């Protein structure tokens, strides 16, 4: 086979053999390329079908700069608890009454006492009682002109006043000991009156009335009285 025999020159037979060899190599190369392409395509399709993506290449910046998770956060210095706020200073308790000072209205008790029931036209005596309710002695002016009794009827209409027609005056300043009571007697003439004492004075009608006492600016509660 290496020495072809024929009527033609040997070079012709060698060229034919070389041509056949080149064609054969081209055919074999094409078959190999086709086989590789088919295998690669089937592998890519399988990868796409399985949903597995090729790992992404790490960006060049992340290969140089560390991520946040790789950085170590410096320890935070412990925060000391705030100092407790100072307690508010309460105001000092008000001082009590001064011994020997004036008897203010809140240091006094004032009461009116009546017989309870009197006959119309009579002249009953009422009592105006002043008491030092404080724990210390104090001074109070008890002048006659500062004392008064007023009678009103059930409709709260003024009927009589002790200073209407016969006002009295005196100078009476006293030191009242703790718990000491001073009683003033006031007689009622049994007739109606008004502050000017110019209206006719008559006997009030029988019924229920109320007496109220006053010592300057201190006022008592109501004391009932029945006229029959």
Tokens, residue 31 = 């078959």
CB 214 within 8 A of CB 150: yes
**Residue 85 reports pLDDT greater than 60:** yes
Both ends of the chain: CA-CA distance in Å?
175
* DSSP secondary structure letter of residue 195: T
- Which residues touch 81 (CB under 8 Å, ≥6 apart)? none
pTM for the model: 0.58
d(CA 127, CA 184): 6
The residue ranking higher by pLDDT, 56 or 173, is 173
Give the confidence band of 138 by pLDDT, cuts at 50, 70, 90: very high
Tokens of 8: 């033609």
Q: In residues, how long is the chain?
A: 228
Residue 127 has pLDDT above 90, yes or no: yes
Neighbours of 221 (CB within 10 A): 10
pLDDT per position as a tens digit, 150-160? 999 999 999 99
Superfamily (CATH H level) for 101-227? Intracellular proteinase inhibitor BsuPI (2.60.40.2360)
The confidence band for 56, taking pLDDT boundaries of 50, 70 and 90, is low
Spell out the domain ranges in the chain: 7-42, 101-227
């Amino acid at each position: 086979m290496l020495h072809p025999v024929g009527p033609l020159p040997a070079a012709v037979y060698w060229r034919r053999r070389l041509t056949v060899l080149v064609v054969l190599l081209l055919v074999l190369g094409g078959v190999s390329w086709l086989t590789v392409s088919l295998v690669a395509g089937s592998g890519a399709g399988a990868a796409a079908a399985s949903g597995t993506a090729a790992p992404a290449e790490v960006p060049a910046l992340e290969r140089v700069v560390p991520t946040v998770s790789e950085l170590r956060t410096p320890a935070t210095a412990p925060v000391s608890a705030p100092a407790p706020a100072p307690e508010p200073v309460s105001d000092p308790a008000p001082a009590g009454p001064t011994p020997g000072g004036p008897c203010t209205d809140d240091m006094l008790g004032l009461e009116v006492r009546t017989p309870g029931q009197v006959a119309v036209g009579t002249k009953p005596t009422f009592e105006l009682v002043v008491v030092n309710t404080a724990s210390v002695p104090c001074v109070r002016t008890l002048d006659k002109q500062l004392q008064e009794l007023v009678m009103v009827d059930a409709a709260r209409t003024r009927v009589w006043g002790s200073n209407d027609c016969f006002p009295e005056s005196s100078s009476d300043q006293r030191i009242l000991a703790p718990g000491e009571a001073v009683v003033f007697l006031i007689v009622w003439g049994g007739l109606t009156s008004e502050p000017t004492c110019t209206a006719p004075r008559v006997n009030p009608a029988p019924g229920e009335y109320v007496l109220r006492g006053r010592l300057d600016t201190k006022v008592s509660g109501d004391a009932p009285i029945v006229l029959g």
